[in-house]
Amino acid sequence: MNQQKTKNVSILVLIILSLFLFYYSFQKSNENKNLQNIFLEEKAELQQDLDEMIKDYTDVVVGKKRLADRLEVELIKMKNLRDSIKLLKSDNFGLIRKYRSRIASLERENKKLFIQIDSLNSANDALTQENVIANEILQQKDSVNETLTEKNKELEAKVAIGGIIKTSPVKAVAMKERSSGKLTSTSRSSRTDAFRINFDLLENPITSAGEKRVYIQIIDENKNVVAPKGKTDLKNGQKVQYTDSLEVNYNNNRLSLVSLVLVNRDDIKKGKYVISAFVDGVYSGNTTIKLR
Looking up residue 253, the CATH number of its domain turns out to be: 2.60.40.2560
Spatial CB neighbours of 132, under 8 Å, sequence gap ≥ 6: none
pLDDT of residue 240: 96
Spatial CB neighbours of 206, under 8 Å, sequence gap ≥ 6: 161, 162, 163
Calculated CA dihedral for residues 72, 78, 80, 86, nearest 10 degrees: -150
Clarify whether residues 46 and 118 are in a common domain. yes
pLDDT of residue 264: 93
CA distance 171 to 286: 8
CA distance 50 to 69: 20
Q: Is residue 22 part of a domain?
A: yes
Clarify whether residues 116 and 185 are in a common domain. no
DSSP the chain: -HHHHHHHHHHHHHHHHHHHHHHHHHHHHHHHHHHHHHHHHHHHHHHHHHHHHHHHHHH----SHHHHHHHHHHHHHHHHHHHHHHT--GGGTTHHHHHHHHHHHHHHHHHHHHHHHHHHHHH-GGGHHHHHHHHHHHHHHHHHHHHHHHHHHHH-----------BPPPEEEEEEE-TTS-EEE---GGG--EEEEEEEEPP-TTSPPEEEEEEEEEE-TTSPBSS--EEEE-TTS-EEEESEEEEEEE-SS-EEEEEEEE--GGG--SEEEEEEEEETTEEEEEEEEEE-
In terms of Cα–Cα distance, which of 35, 152, 37 is closest to 100? 152
Rounded to two decimals, the pTM is 0.45
Q: Is residue 133 part of a domain?
A: no
Quote the percentage of the chain above a pLDDT of 90: 40
Clarify whether residues 101 and 178 are in a common domain. no
Q: Is residue 128 part of a domain?
A: no
CA distance 267 to 189: 9
CA distance 276 to 289: 12
Q: Is residue 150 part of a domain?
A: no
Q: Is residue 193 part of a domain?
A: yes
Q: Is residue 190 part of a domain?
A: yes
Clarify whether residues 46 and 103 are in a common domain. yes
**Chosen domain end from 123, 155, 186:** 123
pLDDT of residue 253: 94
21 is in which domain, residue-wise?
2-123
Number of domains in the chain: 2
Q: Is residue 282 part of a domain?
A: yes
8 Å CB contact between 195 and 173: yes
pLDDT of residue 159: 40
Q: Is residue 240 part of a domain?
A: yes
Clarify whether residues 177 and 282 are in a common domain. yes
Which residues, given as ranges, of the chain have pLDDT below 50? 31, 155, 157-161
